[in-house]
Amino acid sequence: MKKLSFFILILFIFSCKSKVEKVKPEISSISESIYASGIIKSKDQYEAFATVNGIIENIYVSEGDTVKKGTPLLSISNETQKLNKDNAELAAHFSDFNLNQGKLNEAKLLIDLSNNKLKNDSVLFFRQKALWDKQVGSKVELEQRELAYQNSKTAYYSSVVRYDDLKRQLSFSSSQSQKNLQISSEQEGDFTLKSEIEGVVYDLYKSKGEMVGIQTPLAVIGDSKHFILEMQVDEYDIFRIRRGFRVLVTMDSYKGKVFGAQVTKIYPIMNERSKTFLVEAEFIDSPEILYPNITFEANIVLKIKDKAILIPRSFLLNDSIVVKSNGDKVIVKTGLKDYQKVEIISGISADDELIKPTE
């Protein structure tokens, strides 16, 4: 009885070892894709930097707040800049062209006076000259009238020149002081950090009272509705990708769901450290809620084929040979491949039964 049981056991083991895994090709669709991973960024997302050094005086927003373009985020204290603006306002007021019209009016009066004197001296000179032509009067008197006339002419032209110079100088001083005030006002605006886009405040790096510099990022701002998928693609695959290719996206945040996206941008420079290229995509059907820096995995679809003859990749030997159930080895031509299956273009039909090749 023991010998019979041992014989049955040996027969069972032998039959298990000799059991061969078989399969028939199936007709189905297959897609070829490139794997990529990455993170989600808000569209137009950026880090806001201060343009001046100082201490944070006030913070006007909180994380999660919606802001419009130009909304103040925080202000930086700087007393020196305030004093500079006050000085610029005083100088602008002092040099205001309209407020200095009195000086111009005075110069205009001098022109009128010198012009009247010129006219009077001109009449006296030419009258004296007419008398001298008739041998009336003395030569000395004529020369005195001529000298007075020439002096009046010079004084008149000088008063005109002084008026024009004064007007130009007042106009220049007024414009210059207004420009200085404008520059000072704009510099004062540099002490208030404002949003460059309409979006959401995703993060604030600093608190009130902290010292900040021009190289210090202060906040992260981005779009609240539109997001970008940033993917790292291996250098060996980048030349196969084109704008418009479909992307299938999965996230740990949405287990069991696949979202469609589309390649929108391929950056033409490789990261030398990781040997990858940055590729951007945008959602076609977006999840209801998204946040920046969520990680994801993606398959960039290169080709899709319907009604293809497919077999498991494990049934393919040396990427070109299959074994039929009768033991015959057949060379086949393969097409698209995914992680589990491969398309057979020629060599076998869907009716052929295959066995899994042994190593």
Q: Give the domain CATH number at 260.
A: 2.40.30.170
> Are residues 176 and 105 part of one domain?
yes
Task: Find out whether 305 and 335 touch, Cβ atoms under 8 Å.
Answer: yes
Residue, of 343 and 161, whose pLDDT is higher: 161
The whole model's pTM is what?
0.58
- In a 3-state reduction of DSSP, which class is residue 215? coil
Using 50, 70 and 90 to split pLDDT, how confident is the model at 180? confident
Domain count, the chain: 4
- Predicted confidence (pLDDT) per residue in 328-357, tens digit: 888 888 888 776 788 888 888 888 888 888
Q: What token pair was written down for 71?
A: 């909304």
Q: Give a yes or no: residue 5 inside a domain.
A: no
Same domain, 121 and 203: no
Specify the higher pLDDT residue, 40 or 185: 40
Residue with tokens 């343009």: 51
Q: Tens of pLDDT along 54-88?
A: 888 899 999 999 999 999 999 888 766 666 667 77
Residues 342 and 283 reside in one and the same domain = no
The answer on 345 and 253 residing in a single domain is no
Amino acid at 161: V
Indicate which CATH number applies to the domain containing 322: 2.40.420.20
Mean pLDDT score, 230-253 = 92
Q: 185: closest CA among 296, 85, 301? A: 85
Q: Looking at the structure, do residues 205 and 217 belong to the same domain, yes or no?
A: yes
Could you tell me if residue 4 is inside a domain? Answer: no
Element (H, E) at 181: helix 139-189
Whether residue 206 is contained in a domain is answered as: yes
Question: Which domain does 51 fall in, by range?
Answer: 46-77+191-221
Same-domain status, 27 and 52: no
Bridge partner list, 262: 246, 282
DSSP state for residue 98 in the 8-state scheme = G
Q: Determine, yes or no, domain membership for 116.
A: yes
